[in-house]
Amino acid sequence: MAIFPLENPVQHYDWGSLNAMSELFGMANESGQPVAELWMGAHPKAPSIVLADDPVALNVLVDGQAAHLGQGSLAKFGQTLPFLFKVLAAARPLSIQSHPNKQQALAGFTNENHLGVPLDAFHRNYRDDNHKPELVYALTPFRAMNGFRPLAEMLALFKMVELKPLAEALCWLEEGNLKAFYEHLMNLKGAEKEGLVTEALSFAETSDHPAWQEVCRLNQFYPGDIGVLSPLLLNVIELTPGQAMFLKAGTLHAYLEGTALEIMACSDNVLRGGLTNKHVDVPELLKTIEFDTIALADLCLKPEQEENGETRFVAPVDDFLFSIIEPERACEPFEVRSAEILFCVEGRQAIRAGEQSIELTPGRACFVSAMTESYQLEGSGRLARAMSVL
C-alpha cells in the first residue's frame, strides 16, 4: 500500500470557531468546544493517524523511512515529514508573532538547551531548531495582519491624532528608523503604556478609518494590550476565498478571523508580540523581526497554472509546495517526487495508484508515500496538494 487515508487530530484553542469546520466540511463538533485547527502531518505533538487494519501514527510510520519519505527528503530535510499542513478556523484574533529564520532558530534552540530550559517550559522560546515559514490559502474571507506597512502610511495613521507618549519617537519613523520606533513602543511600561493605549482608543472610537477601527476591535479581545496598536503598523489584509499569501521568517503577523488552509515548515518556534496570554519575550522578538516594509498589493501570491491542471502557489522555500487541483481539468497522472498529503476542500475525488483507489470527501485527507510513482484523479470539486521541493 502506498496511499493511506488519515484521521486528523483537532486542536481546541480558545480562538477557534464553534461552527466553521462543521459548516465547511460537515464535521460534527460534539465537544461543543471551539475547533481551531485540524493538523495533517507527522508532528509528534499531534500526528495524523493512518487508517489501516492496524492504525498507526503517521510519524511512527514515516520517521526515518526512506520508502515513505523518499531518500532525497531524508537527505535534505531529515528524519520526518518536512511540512505540517493545517485547516485553521479563527473566530477571533490570534497573537501577534514572528518566526525565526534557520540560523536564529538553531542558535536560540542551542542556547536554551545550554541554559537547561525544559522544552515544555512556559517561557521556552525555541522548541526546535527549524524555521517556520507559512503559507495561507483562504477558504472563506480571511483577515490577517501581515508585514509592516509602507512608512508613509504608518506616519499618516499615527499623525491623525496627537499621542503624547509617541511624540518624540515619531521622529525616528520620519527618519525611516522603524526599528527604533517599534522598540520604543514595545518597551513602554506602566502609566506611559496605559496612557498611550487610552489616548489611542479614545480617538479610535471616533474614527471611521479601517485601521483605527481594527484597533477598537482588537481592544475588545485584549483590553489595554500594546498589541492593539498593531493595525497602525501592519498591513491589514482580507484574502478572498482562493487567494493565498506567504509569511516569511521575521515577518510580524497575526491571523484575525476566517478559515484557511495553512502549510508550514515542521516547527513550533513562535516569538510573540502581544494579543496573548502566552509568553512574550520582547528582546528575543526584536532580534528576529525584519524591519522592512511591504505594500498591501504585494502580499498575495500569484497563482501559477501548470500544464497538468494544478494551480501552484509558489513560496520561496523548499520545505513545502502548495497547490490546488480541480480534477475535472486534470488529465495527466500526477508524478510523485516526495511524500504528499492531499486534502479534499470540496466535491469528491478518487485517487488511484496501480490497484489502489481511495476516495476523499470534504474535510478528509490522505498521505501519499514517496513509493507511489504517480497517481490519477477522478471526480469533481477542489483538492489541496501539499508536498516538499527536492
Give the residue with the Cβ less far from Zn ion, 146 or 243: 146
- Tell me the CA distances in angstroms from 143 to 80, 229, 251, 324, 332, one per residue in order: 32, 16, 16, 21, 36
Cβ of 85: how many Cβ atoms within 10 Å? Answer: 26
- Of the candidate spans 50-58, 96-104, 195-203, 317-325, the one that interacts with Zn ion by CB under 5 A turns out to be 96-104
Is there a contact between 190 and 285 (Cβ–Cβ < 8 Å)?
Answer: no
- Tell me the CA distances in angstroms from 297 to 150, 155, 236, 327, 333, one per residue in order: 11, 19, 11, 30, 35
- Of the candidate spans 80-88, 97-105, 230-238, 360-368, the one that interacts with Zn ion by CB under 5 A turns out to be 97-105
Q: What's the closest the beta carbon of residue 88 comes to Zn ion, in angstroms?
A: 10
Q: What's the closest the beta carbon of residue 236 comes to Zn ion, in angstroms?
A: 16
Is 143 tagged catalytic? no
* CA 233 – CA 147 distance, rounded (Å): 8
* CA 81 – CA 346 distance, rounded (Å): 25
User: Which of 272, 312, 382, 385 is an active site residue?
Assistant: 272
Residue sitting closest to Zn ion (CB): 97
Give the residue with the Cβ less far from Zn ion, 62 or 145: 145
Give the residue with the Cβ less far from Zn ion, 97 or 369: 97
* CA 310 – CA 248 distance, rounded (Å): 24
Cβ of 46: how many Cβ atoms within 10 Å? Answer: 16
**DSSP character at residue 118:** -
- Of the candidate spans 32-40, 42-50, 95-103, 196-204, the one that interacts with Zn ion by CB under 5 A turns out to be 95-103
Give the residue with the Cβ less far from Zn ion, 146 or 338: 146
List, by residue number, the catalytic residues.
Answer: 272
Query: Which spans of this chain sit near Zn ion (rule: CB under 5 A)?
Result: 97
